[in-house]
Structure 1
Amino acid sequence: MNLPRERARRRPTMRLSTRIALAVGVLVPLLVIAAGILVVRWVTADVTRRQDIALRQRAEHLAPDARALLRAVENERENAVRARENKLLDGALDLGVRVELPGGPVSAGPQPPANVPLPDARHRGPVTVRADGKAWRVVSRPLGAARGGAGTLRVFQPTTETDARSALLRRRVLVVAAFAVPISALAGLVVGAGATRSLGALRRRAAAIEPDDDARPDVHVPSGVAEVDDLGRTLAVVLGRYDTQTARTREALETARAFAATVDHELRGPLTGIRTDLDVLAAYPGLTPAERGEILGDLTAGQERILSLLASLRALAQGDLADEQAFERVDLGELAHEAARDARTRHPGADVLVSAPQEIRVHGLRPGLRLLLDNLIGNALVHGRGPDGAASIRIGVHADAGGAARIRVDDDGPGIPIERRDQVFERFRRGPDSPGAGLGLTLVAQQVALHRGHVAIGTVPPGSGTRVEVLLPGRRADEPTGAPGQIRRDWLTREPTESGAGPQEPHRQPT
């Protein structure tokens, strides 16, 4: 049992719009709180800075009166001391003031208790002092030396107002964050639903696709959402590949059915003849050697015909199922020399010459092009012998001015009548003296169509013999051979009477 797959199937699912709503509902309050904390700190720092400036200014303003009080105390003038105290305390207004004198402190206004440690007088401040849950900002100013010790002025301001403002801001931030949770979640749900609407439409279009529906709508419709459009284009590409593969599978099935049906139909005659010959041999053991030799010859011819037919049908089926990825750069001149050399090996008395003055490469299927040359040469060796019975085959491979490759195969035979030149490319078209299965030139036409070329039958100048000319267009290695459906792939499945004009266009007479 595949436990990871089982767990993956049991994993709960959640709609994308719900995920967006949850993410927004959590993220927005967190952002509000984080922004609120920063704002509270900035506002508190700004208010504290302003208060510190005012506190320093008040301390500088009170310092002369504090020094006058220190001098009055030093001179022991009671009336002057009281007058200076009153003036100093009146100038303090709502602030706390403490003047530390040699004889004891003089203080008034809000300030920490006397037992709370204060900063050194040399630290001019402001400094925060805390006691009993309260806090003050204090500024210290030294007043100079006097008999019995030095004097110090301290000015205090409670931080109650600043703390109250900070607390109010914090409460407001929390209130805003509390309200942001449902509002942001609802907004996220709305935004998520809008963002996933295009995905929903894409899903519905994809779900509506039916196999073998040529009139189906395009699965990709531009929505304005980049991610959805990328997904739609990717899905369209995948579906295109699926359609191509489905069509190829269908073609393969049709080819297999046609192969089986054709083999059954075409082998019935030779096998029946072989069975008859075997029955004759079994029923008449007293046949003369000449009669027995004739029957054995018929058996051998039938067996060779069966092998030729099977090989040709297999090649025809392979051509119908040829894959464009198997195409490569092929040197036609080299391929022609190989085909001629093999033909001379099979037919020692034949004269097979090749003229390929330059290297000519085409983007094609190497086995298919070799099959094309073998069948053209084989057809010329069978039907293109001269009156004396000798076989002289000339093969020419040349390049046109436009970059196309031209293959010519000439023989010295009696030629083919004009009215039969298109028919010879049809399946199972055999001459009365032909030993083959009638598929040689059909294979030639198939390979020409597969390579998007043209084939034509004419007469060798000045008018004797047969010339078969194949024109293959020049094509770069990165250029496709053609879109699906533009190349004929029914050479095995189409009935022979429907084959008509051979490759892909009407044949032209070679010049």
Structure 2
Amino acid sequence: MTAASDRARETRRRPAMRLSTRIALAVGVLVPLLVIAAGTLVVRWVTADVTHRQDVALRQRADHLAPDARALVRAVENERENAVRARENRLLDGALDLGVRVELPGGPVSAGPQPPAGVPLPDARRRSPVTVRAGGKAWRMVSRPLGATGTLRVFQPTSETDARTALLRRRVFVVAGFAVPVSALAGLAVGSTATRSLRALRRRAAAIEPDDAARPDVHIASGVAEVDDLGRTLAAVLGRYDTQTARTREALETARAFAATVDHELRGPLTGMRTDLDVLATYPELAPAERTEIVTDLAAGQERILSLLASLRALAQGDLADGQAFERVDLGELAHAAARDARTHRPDADLVVSAPKDEVRIDGLGPGLRLLLDNLIGNALVHGRGPDGAVSIRIGVEAGEDGARIRVDDDGPGIPVERRDAVFERFRRGPDSPGAGLGLTLVAQQVALHLGRVTVGTPPTGRGTRVEVVLPLRRPDVEPNRTRGIRHDWLTREPAARTPGG
């Protein structure tokens, strides 16, 4: 058991959570956290604002009380008891609800709310307000030095500010607690609405049946960009799946047809070869002439079988070909190469290639186009013998307005008009043809694969046969994958149902 299979099985066992539930949980957790974070920030701002206003008022009161405190210090220094009492009363009356403490050499004078006498206080030279804490209480304090011997300290309790801050903080947590169920329900509603398009896409995808030509489109625009992207991607994947399924089905049909055709077409030659072998085995004392005749028949049968197998293999490969292997091919170079190989096998034949100096390039299958030229030239070599017994083949390649043209002319007896369409059917052989009857069928197949056309006519000399092929220079943009509109049934369709030239 591999680790990948273990992980896959563990993934299958893991319970799945709906996207709408995930959204509801995310919103139900995120919203309260945001409320708490925003509320904490607001509480800090409010506390800082209230403290600032309190400090401003505290400074103003300290500045207001400082002259009376200095007068009290001078009265104490001059030891004027009546003046000291008068200054104390005036200072304490001006303090109102604040705590006031004047530190004197003989002891402090204090009144109002303030920390106990034993609580250490900051240095009197610090003029900015500070917080003093003692016994669970807190005061804001401002100090003012009163010369070399005295210090004025003014206190204000922070209880009111602390109470407001605590109340505001409690309200924040109440709002956060209330936001949990509300945001979760809202998230569930939003998640259900947001995933409605996904659920519809899932239902349409689940309803798809293989080989259903009338199935509905899996992608319907929903207005949600992500869902539409997913729908288009799924539609593209299904399209590729359909294409591959069709190609697989075609491949299976081609394989079956190949096997059936081989069985049917080879039975005759093999039966004849078996008969010849039986004759040789039964009559070992045959005359040399008769033995030579039988051996010649055996060799011809073998050549026919080899030719038939090669042609059927090429026909099956053509049925399985697609546009992914298309490339830029120079037809003039292919024509010269095909003629050169033909001269090697038939040195007695006169082959002339006429091609422009400029390259005639098309988008095509290089091996398929070479097969097309080889079969056109081979057909002309077999049937193109002129009245004088010579074989003269003229091969022309040119680029026209409607595409690239390939012409192969010979001086043979020609093909009657009523038989010109039938020559492209498979196994259609002339009485003197040594081949399998698939040469021009392969030509028609390659023309169809390249979305071209092929015609049979007569050369300008008025005698012989001209086979002309016209191929588009560029692969049509409307057929980017080269599968739609192209026939892949040259082995499976009955000959009578085929129209030549694709």
Instruction: Tell whether the structures are fold-level matches, with TM greater than 0.5.
Output: yes
| Matched residue, 1:509 | none
**Is residue 367 from structure 1 mapped to residue 370 from structure 2 by the alignment?**
no
**Is residue 400 from structure 1 mapped to residue 400 from structure 2 by the alignment?**
yes
Q: Once the 2 structures are TM-superposed, how far is the Cα of residue 478 of structure 1 from its aligned partner? A: 8.4
Q: Once the 2 structures are TM-superposed, how far is the Cα of residue 275 of structure 1 from its aligned partner? A: 2.3
The amino acid across from 1:247 in the alignment is: A
| Matched residue, 1:90 | 93
**Is residue 435 from structure 1 mapped to residue 434 from structure 2 by the alignment?**
yes
Structure 2 vs 1, CA of residues 476 and 304 (structure 1 numbering), >3 Å: closer, same or farther?
Answer: closer
| Matched residue, 2:391 | 391
Contact 1:122 1:141 in 2 (8 A): yes
The amino acid across from 1:416 in the alignment is: I
| Matched residue, 2:307 | 308
Q: Once the 2 structures are TM-superposed, how far is the Cα of residue 392 of structure 1 from its aligned partner? A: 0.8
| Counterpart selection for 1:53 from 51, 56, 59 | 56
The amino acid across from 1:139 in the alignment is: V
Q: Once the 2 structures are TM-superposed, how far is the Cα of residue 281 of structure 1 from its aligned partner? A: 2.7
The amino acid across from 2:70 in the alignment is: R
Per-residue Cα deviation, 1:318-367 (whole angstroms, up to 9, x for no partner): 10100211111111111111111110111121111111122111111011
| Matched residue, 1:503 | 501
Per-residue Cα deviation, 1:25-65 (whole angstroms, up to 9, x for no partner): 22121111111211111111110000000000111111111
Instruction: Give the 5 Å matches for 1:234-383.
Output: 234-358=233-357, 359-383=359-383
| CA–CA separation in structure 2 for the residues paired with 1:478 and 1:502 | 24
| Matched residue, 1:422 | 421
Q: Once the 2 structures are TM-superposed, how far is the Cα of residue 74 of structure 1 from its aligned partner? A: 2.5
Contact 2:323 2:483 in 1 (8 A): no
| CA–CA separation in structure 2 for the residues paired with 1:483 and 1:208 | 29
**Is residue 36 from structure 1 mapped to residue 39 from structure 2 by the alignment?**
yes
Per-residue Cα deviation, 1:164-216 (whole angstroms, up to 9, x for no partner): 11111111111111112222122111111122221111111111110000111
| CA–CA separation in structure 2 for the residues paired with 1:164 and 1:407 | 100
Contact 1:353 1:393 in 2 (8 A): yes
Contact 1:452 1:481 in 2 (8 A): no
| Matched residue, 1:492 | 491
Q: Once the 2 structures are TM-superposed, how far is the Cα of residue 278 of structure 1 from its aligned partner? A: 2.5
| CA–CA separation in structure 1 for the residues paired with 2:290 and 2:392 | 35
| CA–CA separation in structure 2 for the residues paired with 1:452 and 1:68 | 115
Q: Once the 2 structures are TM-superposed, how far is the Cα of residue 425 of structure 1 from its aligned partner? A: 0.8
Contact 1:386 1:413 in 2 (8 A): yes
- How large is the RMSD of aligned CA atoms in angstroms? 1.6
Per-residue Cα deviation, 1:201-233 (whole angstroms, up to 9, x for no partner): 111111111000011111111112222111111
Contact 2:43 2:165 in 1 (8 A): yes
Contact 1:330 1:363 in 2 (8 A): yes
Instruction: Give the 5 Å matches for 1:153-164.
Output: 153-164=152-163
| Matched residue, 1:110 | 113
Contact 2:322 2:481 in 1 (8 A): no
Per-residue Cα deviation, 1:64-123 (whole angstroms, up to 9, x for no partner): 111222222223232222222212111111000111223221111000011111122211
| Matched residue, 1:144 | 147
| CA–CA separation in structure 2 for the residues paired with 1:483 and 1:324 | 5
Secondary structure at 1:104 match in 2? coil
| CA–CA separation in structure 2 for the residues paired with 1:213 and 1:476 | 30
Contact 2:131 2:140 in 1 (8 A): yes
Secondary structure at 2:9 match in 1? helix
Tell me the percent identity: 83
| Matched residue, 1:185 | 184
| CA–CA separation in structure 2 for the residues paired with 1:250 and 1:99 | 105
**Is residue 449 from structure 1 mapped to residue 448 from structure 2 by the alignment?**
yes
Q: Once the 2 structures are TM-superposed, how far is the Cα of residue 309 of structure 1 from its aligned partner? A: 1.0
The amino acid across from 1:439 in the alignment is: L
Show structure 2 runs of 5+ residues with no match: none
Q: Once the 2 structures are TM-superposed, how far is the Cα of residue 239 of structure 1 from its aligned partner? A: 0.6
How many residues align? The count is 498
The amino acid across from 2:467 in the alignment is: V
Per-residue Cα deviation, 1:385-436 (whole angstroms, up to 9, x for no partner): 111211111111111145x211111111111111111111111111111111
Q: Tell which deviates more after alignment, 191-200 or 449-458.
A: 191-200
Structure 2 vs 1, CA of residues 481 and 68 (structure 1 numbering), >3 Å: closer, same or farther?
Answer: closer
Q: Once the 2 structures are TM-superposed, how far is the Cα of residue 492 of structure 1 from its aligned partner? A: 0.9
Q: Once the 2 structures are TM-superposed, how far is the Cα of residue 477 of structure 1 from its aligned partner? A: 10
| Matched residue, 1:203 | 202
**Is residue 27 from structure 1 mapped to residue 30 from structure 2 by the alignment?**
yes
The amino acid across from 2:396 in the alignment is: G
| Matched residue, 1:73 | 76
| CA–CA separation in structure 2 for the residues paired with 1:284 and 1:142 | 147
| CA–CA separation in structure 2 for the residues paired with 1:428 and 1:445 | 13
Contact 1:376 1:441 in 2 (8 A): yes
| Matched residue, 1:15 | 18
The amino acid across from 1:376 in the alignment is: L
**Is residue 229 from structure 1 mapped to residue 228 from structure 2 by the alignment?**
yes
| CA–CA separation in structure 2 for the residues paired with 1:434 and 1:477 | 37
| CA–CA separation in structure 2 for the residues paired with 1:201 and 1:479 | 31
Q: Once the 2 structures are TM-superposed, how far is the Cα of residue 7 of structure 1 from its aligned partner? A: 2.6
| CA–CA separation in structure 2 for the residues paired with 1:246 and 1:385 | 47
Structure 2 vs 1, CA of residues 418 and 482 (structure 1 numbering), >3 Å: closer, same or farther?
Answer: farther
